[in-house]
Amino acid sequence: MTDTTGPTIVCTRWRTIERNTLRGFCDLYIARMHMTIRDCSYHEKDASTAWIGLPSKPKIRDGAVVSENGKVAYEPPIVSFDEDMRERFREAAVAAVRAKIAETAQA
């Protein structure tokens, strides 16, 4: 039986790196799936606007890295979320990261 009393997503690692909206990188453990997504980015525009960037990889076409406007183009390896699932994931992940940041600040 799956425990549904605890948080569904837990931030297990946090590294602060501040640049524009980027606040840092985190590892997110999804309890119900027993899965960790490593190196997600955490962004804040202001106190009420925050989001998680899933890890991405360089686009490869015909064995070569794709470049757009002189920069490496990236694509997300996880794209199966529908809009409702994406928003639920964002809310839970942002809450997990904010809890970890608060925990780290108190330590």
For the whole model, what pTM was predicted?
Answer: 0.82
Could you read off the pLDDT of 33-87 as tens digits, one per residue?
999 999 999 999 988 899 999 999 999 999 999 998 889 999 988 876 688 888 9
* 2 located within any domain: no
Domain count, the chain: 1
Which domain covers residue 34, as residue numbers?
9-106
Query: Which CATH number do you get for residue 55?
Result: 3.30.1120
* 28 located within any domain: yes
Sequence-distant (6+) residues with CB within 8 A of 29 are 9, 10, 11, 12, 35, 36
Residue of higher predicted confidence among 59 and 4: 59
* 34 located within any domain: yes
* 3 located within any domain: no
Of 15, 88, 25, the C-alpha closest to 53 is 25
* 78 located within any domain: yes
* 4 located within any domain: no
